[in-house]
Amino acid sequence: MTMQVNSGLSGGLLVVCLPVDGCSWSVRHIRTAKRTTIRLENYFWQAIEMVATKLGLTWRQWVENILSAKPVGANSASWLRVNCLLMLKES
């Protein structure tokens, strides 16, 4: 699947190729201070499971730990994606 997005730079287009299965989403339920539903791409759930396993945690423990440090008003799914990428970058 190819998606074309206007980059806004000199009228050029940014072409992004995404495998179809990576675009599919999964929803998981987490209990923090309240019940939270997180919807992420399957690739991010797989990456979160890898990061958690390396740290000796379950995916749920890792997510709960990361969300406990989320700034007020920050989007939970975005916070998880960014922290997952940062941890993968460090490893």
pTM above 0.75, yes or no: no
3-state secondary structure string across the chain = CEEEEECCCCCCEEEEECCHHHHCEEEEEEECCCEEEEEEEHHHHHHHHHHHHHCCCCHHHHHHHHHHCCCCCCCHHHHHHHHHHHHHHHC
List, for residues 29-67, the tens digit of each pLDDT value. Answer: 887 777 889 999 999 999 999 999 999 999 999 999 999
